[in-house]
Structure 1
């Protein structure tokens, strides 16, 4: 994910909320993906992070991208 966002460079950032920043990525196959990364030092609790994953995996709306995956390791919480 770091490579796809050019190490989370601001040039790929498309939004920001209280939880973190959102980056737009175009994959090698042409797919457009949004990657949401928790702000450093403001990691959500485990329960809140899992709740967001569960919600995004069930909700389908034309203004939302589908949840493709997540990563929670080395102090990072990232959704894609």
Structure 2
């Protein structure tokens, strides 16, 4: 019974992960366009994480995508 409940919970959470990715990608794109970091190495790291996150999302690996995209957002926030 516990396995069934856990399975249902995991299946229900997958669409939430899937819908979170495009919002994070759009936020990153907007921030990079409006106020890119002055440190070009940092900007390259953020763009690489963004691209890896997009690829993971496109492959259906939404949990990994959210993690990568959040790392990119965190880097941008620390740079401010």
Q: Greater relative contact order (Cα 8 A, min sep 6): structure 1 or 2?
A: 2
Q: Which structure shows the higher helix fraction?
A: 2
Structure with higher Rg: it is 2
TM over 0.5: no
